[in-house]
């Protein structure tokens, strides 16, 4: 748990990515490798992912990128790492790699899918609705942008489901806070939070508490 928190903190900036990747080297002999072919680094990345050693895979990706900046292996390895971190529930790192792909390699044939995967990673990284309000608001905004940009996307129904779930969480949060103020005899404060729900695209009658949780039920 502590390891994942530390690794998540490294995503604050691009420069810190280099630091965490270099620190992931597990032995002196491996970290001293240089001037190898792109195929060499790509194979190490693939092997490390297969062994679920993502620290090494991240480190080898840095070597591939620094020694072969124009290699055709780079976009493939980038997406492999993004997917691997998704599978390992390291959603912040997955989102980072998807974002890097969009900046460096995105084209018309892949950008729609990668933007969806980045959005999915952002959504799945939401753990506590009371604490992750900014993340929820950002993901709502990004979902709306995606649907506006790709209204006919094959992924649009999933993005719409994400958006509904996030609006649901916002509505439930405001209603729960209002109910708390009702119990503590603060009707004016309760009114403020119920007013917020008047602008929601949902109504209380639209909401049914999910059996598997607001987040996990979508993709299971």
How would you write 48-59 as a 3-class SS string?
HHHCCCHHHHHH
- Tell me which of 26 and 133 has the higher pLDDT: 133
Q: What is the pLDDT of residue 161?
A: 94
Mean pLDDT of 170-183: 88
- Tell me which of 2 and 67 has the higher pLDDT: 67
Where do the structural domains in the chain lie, given as residue ranges?
1-106, 129-220
Q: What is the pLDDT of residue 176?
A: 87
The predicted-structure confidence for 90-141, as pLDDT tens digits, reads as follows 999 999 999 999 999 988 889 999 999 999 999 999 988 788 989 999 999 9
Provide CB contacts within 8 A for 167, sequence distance 6+. Answer: 140, 200, 201, 202
What is the H or E stretch that residue 15 is in? helix 14-23
Q: What is the pLDDT of residue 18?
A: 38
* Coil, helix or strand at residue 196: helix
User: Tokens at residue 193, please?
Assistant: 């939070």
Angle between helices 2-9 and 91-104 (to 10 degrees): 30
Q: Return d(Cα 198, Cα 73) in angstroms, integer.
A: 50
Terminal CA-to-CA distance of the chain, rounded, Å? 23
Mean pLDDT of 149-170: 93
Buried b (16+ CB within 10 A) or exposed e, 93-108: bbbbbbbbbbeebbee
Helices (H), 51-186: 54-67, 73-87, 91-104, 111-124, 133-149, 156-183
- Tell me which of 35 and 139 has the higher pLDDT: 139
The predicted-structure confidence for 188-215, as pLDDT tens digits, reads as follows 988 988 888 887 776 655 566 555 444 4
Regarding pTM above 0.85, the answer is: no
Q: What is the pLDDT of residue 113?
A: 96
Residues 57, 73 contacting (CB under 8 angstroms): no
Q: What is the pLDDT of residue 12?
A: 35
């Amino acid at each position: 748990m502590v390891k994942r928190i530390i690794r998540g903190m490294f995503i604050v900036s691009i420069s810190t990515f280099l630091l965490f990747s270099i620190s992931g080297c597990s032995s002196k002999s491996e970290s001293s490798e240089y001037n190898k072919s792109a195929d060499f680094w790509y194979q190490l990345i693939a092997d490390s992912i297969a062994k679920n050693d993502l620290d090494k895979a991240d480190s080898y990706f840095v070597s591939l990128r620094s020694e072969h900046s124009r290699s055709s292996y780079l976009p493939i390895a980038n997406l492999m790492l993004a997917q691997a971190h998704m599978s390992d529930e390291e959603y912040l790192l997955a989102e980072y790699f998807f974002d890097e792909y969009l900046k460096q390699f995105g084209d018309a044939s892949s950008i729609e899918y990668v933007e969806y995967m980045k959005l999915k990673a952002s959504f799945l990284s939401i753990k506590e609705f009371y604490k992750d309000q900014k993340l929820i608001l950002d993901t709502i905004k990004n979902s709306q942008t995606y649907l506006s940009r790709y209204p006919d996307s094959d992924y649009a129904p999933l993005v719409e489901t994400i958006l509904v779930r996030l609006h649901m969480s916002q509505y439930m949060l405001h209603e729960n806070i209002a109910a708390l103020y009702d119990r503590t005899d603060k009707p004016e404060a309760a009114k403020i939070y119920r007013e917020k729900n008047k602008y929601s695209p949902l109504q209380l009658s639209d909401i049914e508490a999910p059996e598997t949780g607001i987040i996990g039920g979508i993709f299971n």
